Structure 1
Amino acid sequence: MDIGPVPWLGPLLLVSLWASSAPASLLRRLGQHILRFQESSALGLGLGPDSVTLPKEGWLEQPLDPFNASDRRSFLQRYWVNDQHWTSQDGPVFLHLGGEGSLGPGSVMRGHPANLAPIWGALVISLEHRFYGLSIPAEGLDMAQLRFLSSRHALADAASARLTLSRLFNVSSTSPWICFGGSYAGSLAAWARLKVLGPLWVDWGQGTWTARSITQIIGKPPSRPSSLLR
């Protein structure tokens, strides 16, 4: 069946030819622009009067090897923050740990953490896993860098992020931090509580969070319309 000319085929071929000879740094910047466009498109964001306001995007400088004090190299780790429902510095922090993939603004706007945040007046933060998405070392991802990609390093990133973000957003030292994650990231949440993050950290892996289950952990929520608790 003749489907006629494909209008985007020509530009695609030109991009492919250019990419074959372009420097790696230019290709990485192109990939970043494409990834940001995909993240915005996935949320249905527009430029009109009804467009959705993106949550805050930030970057943490993390040590490339947190277990070697003599190694001064670092990389930038991306995080997202939704403080729309955060009502008190003593309120809980819902931390969405990233897994083996990019994290976009939807990571703090959808899912269990975002759905439960209005009930608890919670600050919602997502932390992109090292070496995924845009959280990539400037030197790239050659074999020498990949030895720093492990769950052990990811847990160290989470512990460091908690300290830095607590200072940045003036989170109370008594505020409970609740980790969310699924699959591999759910395992990270459990390991974080057991190994590095202490008693304030609780997790639920891939379980279904409800107002009742959080109440069992950190007490009753602040006063909210009863419709939010259904």
Structure 2
Amino acid sequence: MARVGKLTAVGAGVVGLGTLVASYAMDDDQHTKRQFARVVASEGLYARPTKPLPTREEQMKNLRLEQFDVLVIGGGATGTGCALDSVTRGLKTALVELDDFSSGTSSRSTKLLHGGVRYLQKAIMGLDYEQYRMVKEALHERANLLDIAPHLSYPLPIMLPVYKWWQLPYFWFGIKMYDFVAGKECVKSSYAISKEKALELFPMLKKDRLVGAIVYFDGQHNDSRMNISIALSAT
């Protein structure tokens, strides 16, 4: 019976998480569909290739016979990004990968698109302008990816449980500053919820001394598919 109880609690927690994500996803569904349709129309995602892709043997032959300006070693996020950058500068570029695209670290990230709430705290507490600039730039990139790749990225609600009364206004102010720094690129305004609502969404939360929660929004994306898209863009 104890095991059944644990499984039930786990299931309830998963359902709670699904409720939180789904509630936002339903609100934003029409916007995402419009964005995806725009990307498909502008980039021809469903267009068939006009010629067959070169075989591995042909690619190896080209590497031996042709002269390249840049050779990129590694087909992860950094490698494909460097390849795309060099191609857009007009440089003839070759990329080699030992295994497969995103076979390593680039498919094992947190998959978050975020500006960094913790970095913003450091910027404010330490009056560190460089930290602030980093957060500002990251928030801009978050908005950019959500806009240009709605088929690979989406807004993500994050709930922060609060267990001390004084932390509620403290965290609320910090998260509101996060929204403020994002400006017009804010995904969705953060808000506070009651203890009862937090437990409804996440029944497995520790109930003792829970006073409420803060919900804020960042982004999440499919890191490995994003990497493949960057590699294809460099071809």
Q: Normalising by structure 1, what TM-score?
A: 0.23
Which has more radius of gyration? 2
